[in-house]
Amino acid sequence: MIASTKTLTETHRRCCYLYNRELISYSLAWDWQKKLLQERIDNPSLHDALILLEHPPVYTLGQGASLDFVKFDIDKSGFEVYRVERGGEVTYHCPGQLVGYPIINLRYYRQDLHWYLRQLEEVLIKVLAVYGLKGDRLNRLTGVWVEGVKVGAIGIKVSRWVTMHGFALNVCPDLTGFEQIVPCGIADKAVGSMAQWIPGIKLEEVRTQLAVAFAEVFRVDFIENQEL
């Protein structure tokens, strides 16, 4: 008998709570993620979750990020800065950027971090395609680019195969905050937004398309959830 190589989600769709939020402080969202993650470590049968939101202006550094990529004095700048447990270098969040935090148990999908990163990229690529934009992957770099300009960043943390942190898609943000850092430690690649190609685009319409793309890529059925 030949053993099946299909993952559980290829034969059974998962249920996933969808939390649609507007502007939430980074610290609150971070604590929320950690709570959801720990609940799923303690009880693996819980449904997955996807949080979609925006943050006020904030800089975050991955656990091993270098301060060489920060162009200001963290202690004297007045900027809100967090060093968190995700991978990757420094990045910037602000209104107009759609941030997604999937809290999912990869034991029900595939226990492969490279696969998971590529799936997150695929979600963003599908969203861009809805608007006629071709999202590209670049060799050995995580994220999504349009015409050589980075519009989607990804940074994750996985504990006991449960994920946290996630992706950020620049829809229509003020990009000047990125001038204070070397985004993701990549000095020779510009950061851009969907609004450069689609003037007037609204984050709320992209939010809807992103949920659709996530459900398609990860084969989940959403349950709208209003609890925080």
Distance CA(109)–CA(156), nearest Å, equals 16
* Given 16, 94, 172, 184, the catalytic residue: 184
Task: Note the pLDDT of residue 4.
Answer: 44
- Determine whether 172 is an active site residue: no
pLDDT value, residue 228: 57
Q: How large is the angle between the packed helices 113-130 and 203-218, nearest 10 degrees?
A: 130
Q: Can you tell me the distance from the alpha carbon of 191 to that of 74, in angstroms, rounded to the nearest whole number?
A: 22
Q: Which pLDDT score is estimated for 176?
A: 96
What is the pLDDT at residue 7?
54
CA dihedral over 182, 185, 190, 191, signed as positive or negative: negative
pLDDT number for residue 3: 45
Thinking of the domain 13-224, which architecture would CATH place it in? 2-Layer Sandwich (3.30)
Q: What gap in Å lies between CA 24 and CA 200, rounded to an integer?
A: 23
Are 179 and 173 contacting, i.e. CB atoms less than 8 angstroms apart? no
Q: What are the average pLDDT values for consecutive 10-residue runs of the chain, which has 228 residues?
A: 50 90 97 98 97 98 93 90 95 98 98 98 98 96 96 98 98 96 89 97 97 98 78
The Cα 166–Cα 168 span in angstroms is: 7
d(CA 49, CA 104): 6
Q: What is the pLDDT of residue 2?
A: 45
Distance in angstroms (rounded) separating the CA atoms of residues 155 and 157:
7
d(CA 13, CA 3): 21
pLDDT of residue 8: 53
CA distance 40 to 94: 29
